[in-house]
Amino acid sequence: MPMARPKKPARKPAGRYHHGDLPRAMLQEAVRTIQTRGIEALTLRCVGERLGVSRSALYRHFADKQALLSAVADEGFRTLRDELLRAWEDAGRGRPGFEAMGLAYVRFAVAHPSHYRVMFGGLVPTQEEAETTADAPGPSAFQVLVNAIVEQQAAGLVRKDDPLQLAQFIWALVHGVAMLVLDGALPAAGADALVTFANERLRAGIAA
- For the chain, first and last CA: distance in Å? 88
Radius of gyration of the chain from its Cα atoms, rounded to whole angstroms: 22
Handedness of CA 107, 112, 115, 117 (dihedral sign): positive
Report what 45 binds from DNA, its own copies, none; CB cut-off 5-8 Å by kind.
DNA
| Interaction of residue 189 with its own copies, rule CB under 8 A | no
x-or-dash string of contact with its own copies, 104-143, rule CB under 8 A: ---------x---x--xxx---xx----------x---x-
Secondary structure element (H or E) that encloses residue 71, with its range: helix 65-90
Report what 86 binds from DNA, its own copies, none; CB cut-off 5-8 Å by kind.
none
Report what 204 binds from its own copies, DNA, none; CB cut-off 5-8 Å by kind.
its own copies
Burial of 84 per CB tally in 10 Å (0-12, 13-18, 19+): buried
**Choice between 29 and 99, CB closer to DNA:** 29
Contact 58, 44 (CB under 8 A): yes
Amino acid at 196: T
x-or-dash string of contact with DNA, 30-69, rule CB under 7 A: ------------xxxxx-----xxxxxx-xxx--xxx---
Report what 65 binds from DNA, its own copies, none; CB cut-off 5-8 Å by kind.
DNA
Phi, psi of 60 (to 5 degrees): -75, -20
| Interaction of residue 59 with its own copies, rule CB under 8 A | no
Find the binder of its own copies among 23, 146, 168, 192 (CB under 8 A). Answer: 168
